[in-house]
Amino acid sequence: MLLDHPAMPSALSDKPHILIVDDSVDELRLLLDALRSQNYRLSVAFDGQQGYQRAQANPPDLILMDVNMPRVDGYASCRLLKANKQLMHIPVLFLSAANAVNDRLLGFSSGAVDFICKPFSAEEVIARVAVHLELAQRRLNTAEPIVELKAQEQDEVLLAAAVQIIGEQLYRPLSLADIASQIGTYEKKLSKLFKTRMGITVFAYIREQKLRNAQQLLAKTQMSVIDIAEQLGFQSACNFTTAFKEHFALTPSAFRQTLKLAGAHA
């Protein structure tokens, strides 16, 4: 049975603490066996939400994180960690069987410092962990002291993570439940955060971001209005045009024409 290792006595407190987050018991055993030989303090979690909670309760020096897990995946958990001032310094190393370029890029954009492909070798994991622990220690030696987050700052962490998720997934349909589950909260809390902190609903924020993205596409590409509407998930070009005009007081075509005229007279 896999359990968290108990807190070590103060005489051993200088041992690096590593949190391993993986929903596979077999993978956890392999990682525990590999890292025990290095005399680290080890603890485990079985999904991204539990991993984030345990990192809050007892901040580790490094996190080894699986990507595909139930409830909250590795990407979402990493976003939460990097949005938290108290935890953002902790290096996160992803472990995943998905090793396509896009998977790696998504991992790095979420805040990870490394990406280890499964199946992995114990020697590689040990070597990468050692390197990143040393780099993290160097950064900490020159960093400002870490202060405890207040309750309102915890809300800011959730809000920042939600905003990042929306930005990264703007081109696909996003429900309130989707976003809430990816940051380990519930829908009512997420709605309240947007209304109280940003003065706008979640869906109004998503719509605004889509329209601002559309503005950039109209200005910097030759994509048609129909293609832009489809890419941003509007029901139709007509629906997109109406929304764009309501927000910017110009139709997409008129906006593009205005930019051309301004460029011609520049």
Q: Which residues pair with 43 in a beta bridge?
A: 19
Number of Cβ within 10 Å of residue 261's Cβ equals: 10
On whether the CB atoms of residues 60 and 43 are closer than 8 A, the answer is yes
Q: How far apart are CA 243 and CA 250, in angstroms?
A: 10
Residues 120 and 42 in one domain: yes
What is the tally of structural domains in the chain?
3
Ordered mean pLDDT values, 10 residues apiece, the chain (266 residues): 41 78 92 91 93 93 93 87 89 88 82 89 92 87 59 77 86 85 82 91 93 93 93 91 93 91 70
Same domain, 105 and 19: yes
As to burial, measured by CB atoms within 10 angstroms (0-12 exposed, 13-18 middle, 19+ buried), residue 10 is exposed
Q: Which of 126, 142, 158 is a domain's end point?
A: 142
Find the distance separating the first CA and the last CA of the chain, reported in whole Å. Answer: 71
Give the structural domain span for 165: 150-199
Q: Enumerate the β-bridge partners of residue 20.
A: 44, 64
Instruction: Provide the pLDDT for residue 146.
Output: 53
Q: What pLDDT is attached to residue 240? A: 93
Look at the pTM and tell me if it is higher than 0.85: no
Q: Same domain, yes or no, for 195 and 116?
A: no
SS3 (DSSP) at 243? helix
Three-state SS sequence of 174-238: CCHHHHHHHCCCCHHHHHHHHHHHHCCCHHHHHHHHHHHHHHHHHHHCCCCHHHHHHHCCCCCHH
- Which segments within 102-152 are labelled E, that is strand? 114-117
